Chains A and B, each alone.
Chain A
Amino acid sequence: MWDMEAARAALPVVLKGFGVTLLATLLGFAVAVLAGLVIALLQRAGTRWIALPVSFLAHFVRSTPVMVQLFAAWVLISGLDALPLGIAVLGLHYATYLSEVYRAGIDAVPKGQWEACTALSLPHRRVWRAVVLPQAVRNVLPALGNYAISMFKETPFLSVITVHEMVHEASTFGSTHFAYLESFTLAAAVFLIASWPTSALVRRLEARLAH
């Protein structure tokens, strides 16, 4: 049964782990946003020798479990701490989702915009930086928000490589105090409390950008 004393003792432990969870989400998502853009641009590269292998690799990473990728990276790559390694793996995994989002966003930029740039004979770099990407980012912002939330809820996977995020802390507390009920319920509550307002915010953003 629910033990209030145990819950009171578990709360600071869980919240301490929440700090690591938040850090991993923010840094991991920064990796995903940048690497995703690089993947999307490489996939559009003029030469097939770059575009095809990059597309295949992204597809491969996207269709295999992030938990196995974490295990593999953890065992095969030495010399990196668990947290930076985990952030890199989780970030790259999400980058392969975001590359698809960017692709759709770039495709949604009207063809006339490209044609106008050609007519003005703007240099290639300038077309991307000043015309296409600013419009594409507007298209993809809500989707990026949704992926950030789902990445937040997948950070517990980092515990398989000994990152001390929230669920890892909850698990350790649960086993040492025999208080799994309290510690895991608190962890679930923190996820809910943190992700609910964020997803409401993203929905509002989505509605605003739709008009």
Chain B
Amino acid sequence: MADFLPELGRALPDVGEGLLVTLEATVLGAALALVLAFALGLASRSSRLPVRGATRVTVEFLRGTSLYVQLFWLFFALPMLGFRLEPMACGVLAFGLNYGAYGAEVVRGAVNAVPRAQSEAAIALGMGPGLRLRRVVLPQAYVLMIPPFKNLLIQLLKATPLLSLVTVADLTFQIDQLRSATGGTAAAYLLLLLLYFGVAALLGAGMNALERTAKERLGQGGDA
């Protein structure tokens, strides 16, 4: 325990490296999830039944099979079919697919929550479906999406320690190394929890700022 601080000083570059890996997985996973959320979320509102049905099945499949199993499947089972992905790619893909499916529900719900009169007014002005979505519906739905997206982003961050189970040297892995080197178990895990807490707080603050600007752009700022 007495060795913990000097050892931490020596290990600081490794811990920083691990933090970067964790951040990288979070950002890339979230970016993939965001793209997928919009694609699946908008497709689930399609008027064509096959499109809607296929989207529904995809979303339910990705949500229903557990992130943990998806990551392990990509890492252990997929190579048996002849495809081998880098461990980090497995992580980003699993995070993106899983949280993308949850995000699709957020997009769908937010678009549905925009008052119908807004679309009707846009139709009356002669706007086509694409323009209507881009200029009228999405800017309003976007504000509603940010708080649930914030929750999903923090959930995703909290899932990243899984990477350490598939040989990625993320933050959890690096601090675990430090813990074995020093025996300072309590100090190491407290530090680890504090680091995740700090990153979560930063991500949360960023999303709150995003929500504020989005609201101001819609003229809903100020009193909110």
Interface on A for B, CB 8 Å cutoff?
1, 60, 63-69, 71-72, 75-76, 153-154, 156-157, 160, 167, 170-171, 174, 180-181, 184-185, 187-189, 191-192, 195-196, 199
Contacts and interface: CB of A to CB of B under 8 A. Distances in A.
Nearest to B179: A75
A65 B22 CA distance: 12
Contact of A185 (B66, B68, B73, B185): B73
Given A63-B197, A199-B63, 19 more contacts: A63-B204, A65-B157, A65-B172, A67-B172, A71-B176, A71-B189, A153-B68, A156-B68, A157-B68, A167-B72, A180-B72, A181-B77, A184-B73, A184-B77, A185-B73, A188-B66, A188-B69, A191-B64, A192-B60
A65 B176 CA distance: 14
A196 B162 CA distance: 24
Interface of B: 60-61, 63-70, 72-73, 76-77, 80-81, 154, 157-162, 165, 172, 176, 185-186, 189, 192-193, 196-197, 200-201, 204
Contacts of B63: 195, 199
A4 to B, nearest CB: 14
A60 B68 CA distance: 23
A192 B64 contact: yes
A199 B102 CA distance: 13
A66 B155 CA distance: 10
B196 A184 contact: no
A188 B61 CA distance: 9
A66 B186 CA distance: 16
Where chain B touches its partner, the secondary structure class is: helix
Nearest to A194: B64
A68 B192 contact: yes
A67 B200 CA distance: 15
A65 B64 contact: no
A47 B77 CA distance: 54
B66 A63 contact: no
B65 A192 contact: yes
Given A72-B189, A191-B69, A67 B161 contact: yes
A174 B204 CA distance: 39
Contacts of A192: 60-61, 64-65
